[in-house]
Structure 1
Amino acid sequence: MSSDAQSSTLREYLAKSALDEILDRAAPILGRDPGGSPSSPTCDWMAKFPDHTKLVDMNLPGTHDAATWDYSAARQAELIKYTGPIRDSVFFRCQERSLLQALNDGIRVFDLRLGYNPGNDTIGFYHGVAMLGPTTTLQDVLYGLYHWLVAHPSETILVSINQEEGSKTLYDRKFEEILFATLNNDVGKRFWLPAAGELGTLGAARAKLVLLQRFTYQFLSSPPANPFGIHLDAAQWTPNGGNINLTYNETPKRVAYIQDTFMPLVPPHSSADANITSKFQAVTGHLEKAMSRRSEGEVEEPLYISFASAHANADLITPNVIALGNASTAGMNERLLPWFKNNKGNRFGIVFLDFYHSEPELVAAIIGL
């Protein structure tokens, strides 16, 4: 073997070793990719749509609190030295499939919530006060998403990022600096869709990530108002809001219409059925608006976002009960599946789910395949 060939082989080996190390660090949040079945209709489903398709007109299934998939009682016990005693793990877990499994299942939007890892030198993942991994970083997980896109170049991934206020970690200048550097490093610049204030077309977004920015830069000396992606200002995100309107571009005017009633609007001590029924009505009512409206007055390309996820702490009803139901009543996923099938061919927008795999046909029904 020539010296040039040896050097090339060594570079490839070192590059693979470095990537393997990153994916190992990311695995507690990212999971591991077993490879999607080529015959799966949802692994590379975006390949079936033409390039000119606008993302706001697509049906995009997503996972709410996507990083919670491995948060079990055992995992919580491992991390109690960082968090102290908190509520049972069942109150925080919203998924059962890893990020990579979800991508292969057809999920294309991730709700990721961030806070400082112990030591305040890296940014990791939280749901409320529940730390999900003390050493896994946002940067490592993003590298894993970049790697998946290289293998699936027809697809795009929308990533919603915000600092989790309930984590009790600081939002300060250092947090912003780390976050900005993570999103804008040389590798990230190759994979984030550079357009600002619009989602654009599927063709432009293929093999790229699209940022849904649920935070506002406050401390950087020259903060980018919105360097890429769309800005969904957290300060205007009404808590438990069923009809949130966020303008993410003034000219042309573009608005996100959001339903996020994470605590169903029922009296205290209501039954699981009452909570689920209230949430189902809120979700389907919002979806019906998405189906019927292609414009909102002067608004161009309205974006609809519906959270099918919920919990009801006052009634001790956890996310899994809302999503899956119990012995006495059907959950959101079981109720939504026939609803989506009956409304096939309509535009729904982004739909965030909990425990989506409880109904294996649900993702395909949302997409409309």
Structure 2
Amino acid sequence: MLMSSDAESSTMRQYLAERALDEVLDRAAPILGRDTGCSPSSPTCDWMAKFPDHIKLVDMNLPGTHDAATWDYSAARQAELIKYTGPIRDSVFFRCQERSLVQASNDGIRVFDLRLGYNPGNDTIGFYHGVAMLGPTTTLQDVLYGLYNWLIAHPSETILVSINQEEGSKTLYDKKFEEILFATLNNEVGKRFWLPAAGELGTLGPARGKLVLLQRFTYRLLSSLPANPFGIHLDAKQWTPNGGDIKLIYNETPKRVAYIQDTFMPLVPPHSSADANITSKFEAVTGHLKKAMNQRSEGEVEEALYISFASAHANVDLITPNVIALGKASTAGMNERLLPWFKQNKGHRFGIVLLDFYHSQSELVEAIIGL
């Protein structure tokens, strides 16, 4: 009987491991995208390597993408999925990005806003924006494995992942959903890649090569499990709908607080122009950013995390996310207005800034980081 050598066995195991990873990345691709690598001259691909380990994450400027999984939700994609969702509004109302998660990571994005719901017909968790299902077979676990794989290649970096169940998806929320979600985040592989600290963000050093959880949901049905085994708990019940100045305590002792601006519908009268909607949103965002710049914290707050959503839509006025972000005709959008503002205020702390269609302004991510 012929026996393989140890070297041959090791090679075959490596081959099988690589093929298994390839299958996961193939399943993840509709949400994760494909990694084509970074340009050697890119200033953003590994930008965290330029910062010291001791810097607090709450003191860093972290560009992110709102509804990050929508990047491939075109009219053609919507037509493929209509058999699952039935007729819904045009795809332009749901799409908020044009770059995949791995492309965005290479571009310097370090915060992803992910919205979850059941995949149709099986007990797996997938991705939604409102009633728009973004992929019938791609699972949260597939995408997380893809992000783990990206971090292996970029060990100086960290990625913050905001997760919540998308209530607008009209999918079932039950004990099984919580069980799958908990198991996905706490499996043996996940334990190696999630920052294990609970109730704090801490400093960059321990977070390098890790994902950091921004938990925008509460385990309501799994009473035997810890409420928040790692990451920070941004309780959805404290997240004021369309709130421009939300204060959310994510740890009592010592006190750690998130200050959030999330006016996703600009506060203007019905039937206002695109310019009025964008101007209102711009003022809300920059007003909150100025608080991040000028207010270190209140009282005995140990961590003051600032989160600003630059994204928005206005249902009554039929203003879509791309109009807010990119503008309309001669009206400048949020991204065009924010770029000079960030350049003018370079050197200040902004916190987390969540964008739509960030790639429309090639220097926007660099300007937020302060490179």
Fold shared by both chains (TM-score > 0.5): yes
2:157 aligned with 1:155: yes
From 164, 167, 191, give the equivalent of 1:189. 191
SS in structure 2 opposite 1:302? strand
**Match in the other structure for 1:261:** 263
Which 5+ residue runs of structure 2 have no aligned equivalent? none
Q: Once the 2 structures are TM-superposed, how far is the Cα of residue 294 of structure 1 from its aligned partner?
A: 1.1
Q: Once the 2 structures are TM-superposed, how far is the Cα of residue 221 of structure 1 from its aligned partner?
A: 3.9
From 34, 37, 40, give the equivalent of 2:39. 37
Q: Once the 2 structures are TM-superposed, how far is the Cα of residue 78 of structure 1 from its aligned partner?
A: 0.4
The aligned length equals 369
Q: Equivalent residues in 2 for 1:247-258 (5 A)?
A: 247-258=249-260
What is the TM-score of this pair, normalised by structure 2?
A: 0.99
Q: Equivalent residues in 2 for 1:89-168 (5 A)?
A: 89-168=91-170
SS in structure 2 opposite 1:278? helix
What is the TM-score of this pair, normalised by structure 1?
A: 0.99
**Match in the other structure for 2:11:** 9
Paired residue type of 1:180: F
Distance 1:140 1:262 in 2: 29
Is the 1:262–1:311 Cα contact (8 Å) retained in structure 2? Answer: yes
Distance 1:208 1:38 in 2: 23
Output one character per residue of 1:309-353: Cα deviation in whole Å (capped at 9) or x when no partner.
Answer: 000110011000000001131000000000000000000000000
Paired residue type of 2:322: N
SS in structure 1 opposite 2:316? helix
Q: Equivalent residues in 2 for 1:267-286 (5 A)?
A: 267-286=269-288
Output one character per residue of 1:155-186: Cα deviation in whole Å (capped at 9) or x when no partner.
Answer: 00000000000000011100000000000000
Q: Once the 2 structures are TM-superposed, how far is the Cα of residue 38 of structure 1 from its aligned partner?
A: 2.4
Is the 1:294–1:301 Cα contact (8 Å) retained in structure 2? Answer: no
In the TM superposition, structure 1's runs of 4+ consecutive aligned residues that sit over 6 Å from their partners are none
Paired residue type of 2:46: D
Output one character per residue of 1:17-73: Cα deviation in whole Å (capped at 9) or x when no partner.
Answer: 000000000000000000011220000000000000100000000000000000000
SS in structure 2 opposite 1:258? strand
Which 5+ residue runs of structure 1 have no aligned equivalent? none
Paired residue type of 1:94: C
Output one character per residue of 1:128-175: Cα deviation in whole Å (capped at 9) or x when no partner.
Answer: 000000000000000000000000000000000000000000111000
Paired residue type of 2:39: S
**Match in the other structure for 1:21:** 23
SS in structure 2 opposite 1:142? helix
Query: What's the RMSD between the two structures over aligned residues?
Result: 0.8
**Match in the other structure for 1:214:** 216
Q: Which moved more, 1:90-99 or 1:34-43?
A: 34-43
Distance 2:257 2:155 in 1: 29
**Match in the other structure for 2:228:** 226
**Match in the other structure for 1:60:** 62
From 166, 175, 180, give the equivalent of 2:177. 175
Paired residue type of 1:214: R
Paired residue type of 1:344: K
Is the 1:279–1:308 Cα contact (8 Å) retained in structure 2? Answer: yes
Distance 1:69 1:198 in 2: 30
Distance 1:134 1:227 in 2: 29
Is the 1:26–1:144 Cα contact (8 Å) retained in structure 2? Answer: yes
